[in-house]
Structure 1
Amino acid sequence: MSRPTRAQRAAAIAARRADAVELRLAGADPLTVGKKLAADPTINTDRIAYPFGYGHELYAKGRPAPPDDTLARSVLRDTAHALEHRIAAARESIEELRALEDARLDRMFLVAYRKAVRDGDLPAIDRALRIMERRARLLGLDRPIRAEITGGDGGPIEVADATADELAALIALTDPAAERGQG
């Protein structure tokens, strides 16, 4: 049997990681996953040698299987790596979709803008502005609105410790249901 290439090893490890994630999503604990995907058939719950399974380097050398805590840690490491990879792929997809939506907005804006400028068409002006607002939200162009809460006369808010009875009295002052005896 010939040695697997680097690409074959990487593909087998990626498949093991994907299987580990699927088993974890199905509710299996890390040790159960480690035993299900173990290279050594004596600990593999299916009694098969999982290709590039957990402990494969030990099994290939005829050494004993890794202990349970090592199996569980390996599964946790694998699932974390696989999930990071999935998150990165999702981010790339989101950026591609954002670029596609931006291109669509460009096409619609051009139509609305021409009509707004050429004809002075008020609905077209409104539509162009809505497209501009949508693009600003899509691309995060708008600055966040700063809000400041102040006390009486614009001064600072005073904070003091209060007992439960004092808080209940304050709530009763501001809650119309409490005033009518419905609280």
Structure 2
Amino acid sequence: MPRSKAEMAAIAERRIEMFRRRRAGESMESIAKSFGVSRSTLSKDFTRAYRSYLEEEKTEADVWRRFQTDRYEELLAAVWPDALEGDVRANEQASKLIDKLCRLNGWDVPVKAEVSGPDGGPIALASGSLEEMEQLFNIARQVNEDDTEDEEEMGEDEDADAH
């Protein structure tokens, strides 16, 4: 039998209070006792409420993403004919808009990265000790620094080409 509006309102109020008290650090046992329900009932209620909250957040994000996608697509439609006619500025704008659409919607192809050892070989780990982990982090840090330097040099080359 479906719950009445009054019952649904009471559950909603209980959930709000439950979240507030849980965030404040109160135990599930104490909260359950104060509401006169078992810990199991409160736990199920907490899980249902949290799932509902996450679903609402996902829905909001989906709506916002769709709204932004529509805006970018409208801008893209405005510059597209000029871009196809060879207008360099319109082409750059179209390219940037396409990049934004890809990032916003997760359409970019994932980048596969691999950190390798000396001469491109595997990194040997014998025990997973703290010392070995530190060596691994140092290798990864060096790779990251090298990539950053390469990107900076590419940016400088583009700046030089523009002048």
CA-to-aligned-CA distance 1:9-32 (integer Å, 9 cap, x gap)? 333223322221222223332233
- For the residue of structure 1 that corresponds to 2:4, the secondary structure is helix
The letter for the 2-side match of 1:83 is Y
Kindly report which structure 2 residues correspond to 1:9-48, keeping only aligned pairs within 5 A, or say none: 9-38=7-36
The letter for the 2-side match of 1:97 is W
* 1:109 lines up with 2:76 in the alignment: yes
Kindly report which structure 2 residues correspond to 1:65-80, keeping only aligned pairs within 5 A, or say none: 70=38, 72-80=39-47
- In the other structure, the counterpart of 1:123 is 89
CA-to-aligned-CA distance 1:18-73 (integer Å, 9 cap, x gap)? 221222223332233224333xxxxxxxxxxxxxxx3xxxxxxxxxxxxxxx3x33
- Alpha-carbon shift at residue 137 of structure 1 (Å): 0.9
- For the residue of structure 2 that corresponds to 1:17, the secondary structure is helix
**Bigger radius of gyration, 1 or 2?**
1
Contact 1:112 1:127 (C-alpha < 8 Å) held by counterparts: yes
TM-score by length of 1: 0.60
The alpha-carbon distance between structure 1 residues 128 and 163, as it changes in their structure 2 partners (threshold 3 A), is closer
Greater relative CO (CA pairs within 8 A, separation 6+)? 1
TM-score by length of 2: 0.67
The structure with the largest helix share of the pair is 2
- In the other structure, the counterpart of 2:102 is 136
Q: For 1:154 and 1:101, locate their aligned partners in 2 and report how far apart those are by CA, in whole Å.
A: 43
Q: Find 2:62's aligned residue among 76, 95, 102.
A: 95
- In the other structure, the counterpart of 1:64 is none
Q: For 2:59 and 2:78, locate their aligned partners in 1 and report how far apart those are by CA, in whole Å.
A: 30
Q: Which runs of 5+ in 1 are unaligned?
A: 39-53, 55-69, 175-183
The letter for the 2-side match of 1:147 is A
The letter for the 2-side match of 1:11 is A
The share of aligned pairs that are identical, in percent, is 27
The alpha-carbon distance between structure 1 residues 163 and 17, as it changes in their structure 2 partners (threshold 3 A), is closer
* 1:156 lines up with 2:154 in the alignment: no
CA-to-aligned-CA distance 1:55-103 (integer Å, 9 cap, x gap)? xxxxxxxxxxxxxxx3x33323222221111011101111111111110
The letter for the 1-side match of 2:58 is R
CA-to-aligned-CA distance 1:139-180 (integer Å, 9 cap, x gap)? 11111111223333333333345998x87xx8xxx9xxxxxx
The alpha-carbon distance between structure 1 residues 130 and 11, as it changes in their structure 2 partners (threshold 3 A), is same
The alpha-carbon distance between structure 1 residues 26 and 109, as it changes in their structure 2 partners (threshold 3 A), is same
* 1:86 lines up with 2:53 in the alignment: yes
The letter for the 1-side match of 2:9 is A
- Greater shift, 27-36 or 132-141, is seen at 27-36
